[in-house]
Chains A and B, each alone.
Chain A
Amino acid sequence: MIEARAINATAVRADFPILGRSINGKPLVYLDSAATSQKPAVVIDIMDDYYRRYNANPHRGVYTISEEATAAYESARQQVVAFINAASGKEVIFTRNTTEAINLVRYSWGRANIRNGDRILLTEMEHHSNLVPWQLLAQEVGASLEFLRIDDQGMLQLDELDARLEGVRLLAITHQSNTLGTINPIKAITAAAHRAGALVLIDGAQAVPHMAVDVRDLDVDFYAFSGHKMCGPTGIGVLWARRALLEAMPPFLGGGDMIKRVKLHEASWNDLPWKFEAGTPSVAEGIGLGAAVDYLKNLGMDQVRTHERTLVDYALEKLQEIPGIVLYGPRDPEIHGGSISFTIPDIHPHDLATLVDREGIAVRAGHHCTQPLMDRLGVPATTRASFYIYNQPDEVDQLVSGIQKAQKVFA
C-alpha cells in the first residue's frame, strides 16, 4: 500500500518550468488549467528525448529505433489502460483530443446505429465538442436531440430521468462541466440509461485530469478525454470504448496502419486498437501522455481531487466576499470540480481578464465553448478560474485582490 500523502503544491510547482515565469513583472498565477494544463519537465523531457534519440515511424520498421519508438508508444497506451482501468489496450484508441474521440463515435458508431427518428439525449451544460457533432449527426440522419436541464445551482435535473430516457439510443454527457465545475453522478445516470436500453458516452475531458476515473466501475460505453488537460502535450487524446462495440464499428479514418490487407478495390481492417488509428500517429505526444499519466499516478488521483476540493472550498468562500459577485455552479465542493465561473457587476469578463492579467493572473473570459449554457444562465460570458495540482490558496487571494483592483478602475 502506498501511503496517501496530501499534495504539496510548492513541491509540485518546482516540476513545472513555466511556473517560474513572470508576467508584467509579477509571478505567473495560472488559473486556466481547464483550458489546458501546464506540463511538468518529465513530460517535456521525454518528448525531447524521443526526437533526439529514437525518432522513427512506429509499427513499421524492423530496425532498432523504430522498434524503440513502437515499444515506447505502446507502453504509453498500457499506462493509460491501467490509469482508467480499461480491460486491455484494444479498448484504448489514441485520437487527437476529446473532440476527435467524440467525432470518431459520431462517424463510426453513430452513422451505423442512429436512424431517422432516433433520439439522442444530451444536457444543457455540454461543451460544444459534445454538442455540435451530435447536431451534425442528427441533421444527417434525421434523428432528434433532447436535453436534460440544469437547476439554478448548475446541477442536472434528474427527477424525471427515467421518463426522459425512454426510447433514447444514446446519452452523451459531460463528467464534469468545464464552465460550472459541476461533477455529474455518472454511475447512477449510466445505470438508468442502460435500464432504458441507451448507450452512454462520457466527455471526460474535465474529469480524467482531476479525479480517479474507472471506466469499468462507471460501466459506461464510450469515454473520451484529452492529454493536454492532464499534464500531457496537445495533439493526443483517448477514446475508450467497450471492445464489443469497437469490434462491430466500421473504421473512422482510412489509410496506413489501420489495414490488414489492401487490394485495389477493397481492404480488411487491422486489429484493435489500430483499426481506428490511420496514418502515422502522434508518437512523441503519445509518449508524453504516458509520462503525464505516470506523473499523476505518483501524486495519486484521490490526492489530486482532495487538493482541488480544498482550493474550491476556499475560493468559493473568498470570492463570495466580493460585493455583487455572482457565482455559478454548485455551492457544495463535494460536487464542484476545480472550475469556478463568476460575473462581476458592470465589468465585462474580458475587461476583468485583461485587468487581472496585468497582475500576472491568467483566467479565462468568454463562453467557454458552452454558448447554450450561457443562454441558460442569461449572460453573454463569464470569467472562469480553474485550478490544478500546482495551485495554492495564496493564488486565490491574489485573484480576489486582482478583482478588487479591477472594481476600483471601473468604480
Chain B
Amino acid sequence: MGDDLYREQILEHYKNPHHFGELADADITQEGDNPLCGDVITLYLKLDDGKLGEVSFRGRGCAISQASASMLTDMIVGKPVAELKSFPTKDLLEELGIQISPARMKCATLSVNTLRVALNGESHEED
C-alpha cells in the first residue's frame, strides 16, 4: 500500500513537476492552501479564445499535493474553460490512481479546488 501511495509516477511528478513556475502574463492567478498541512499552490491561467491556452503552477507541500497539481496541469491545458469550471475531482483522483485516505484527501484535491475557485470566483467543493 505504502509503495502504491508513493508509486513511481507520483514521485516523478513531485520531483520534476510539469508546468512548474510563474506565468508572467497570466489572466488569472489563484492561490490555494491547506493551512492545516502547510500545502500551498498558486495556479497561473492564460485564456485563449475560450480555452485554457497556458497553465502553470508554483507551490510547496507534500508529494501528494504537488504531484496532483502537476498532473492536473497536464489534464487541463488546452481544454475549454466552460468545461473546466466544473472539472470533476474524481477525474484527478483517477489519474493519481492511488487510494487516498480521508486524512490526505485535502492534499490530493488542493489543486482542483484551487482551479474551481480560479474559474468560478468561489469554492464549489464537491461532496
Contact bitstring A143-177, B, C-beta under 8 A = 1, else 0: 00000000000000000000000000000000000
Number of CB contacts from chain A to chain B under 8 A: 48
The one of B1, B36, B40 in contact with A358, judged by C-beta atoms closer than 8 angstroms, is B1
Contact bitstring B31-45, A, C-beta under 8 A = 1, else 0: 000011111100000
The answer to whether A116 has its CB under 8 Å from any CB of chain B is no
A388-B77 Cα distance, complex, nearest whole Å: 51
The one of B1, B36, B104 in contact with A367, judged by C-beta atoms closer than 8 angstroms, is B36
Contacts of B37 in A (CB 8 A): 348, 350, 366, 380-381
Contact bitstring A376-400, B, C-beta under 8 A = 1, else 0: 0001110000000000000000000
Contact bitstring B5-19, A, C-beta under 8 A = 1, else 0: 110000100000000
Which residues of chain B (46-64) have a CB below 8 Å from chain A?
60-64
B contact residues, range: 10 to 19
Do the beta carbons of B36 and A366 come within 8 Å of each other?
A: yes
Query: Quick one: given A380-B37, A409-B11, are A351 and B2 in contact (CB under 8 Å)?
Result: no
The answer to whether A108 has its CB under 8 Å from any CB of chain B is no
Give chain A's interface secondary structure class: helix
A contact residues, range: 10 to 19
Do the beta carbons of A409 and B6 come within 8 Å of each other?
A: yes
Contacts of B40 in A (CB 8 A): 380
Do the beta carbons of B62 and A350 come within 8 Å of each other?
A: yes
A351-B104 Cα distance, complex, nearest whole Å: 10
Pairs of residues from A and B, 4 with the lowest C-beta to C-beta distance, nearest first: A380-B38, A358-B2, A348-B62, A350-B62
New A-B contacts (20) at CB < 8 Å, excluding given A381-B38, A410-B6: A24-B2, A348-B37, A348-B39, A348-B62, A350-B37, A350-B62, A350-B64, A351-B63, A354-B2, A354-B104, A355-B2, A357-B2, A358-B2, A367-B36, A371-B35, A374-B38, A379-B38, A380-B38, A380-B39, A409-B6
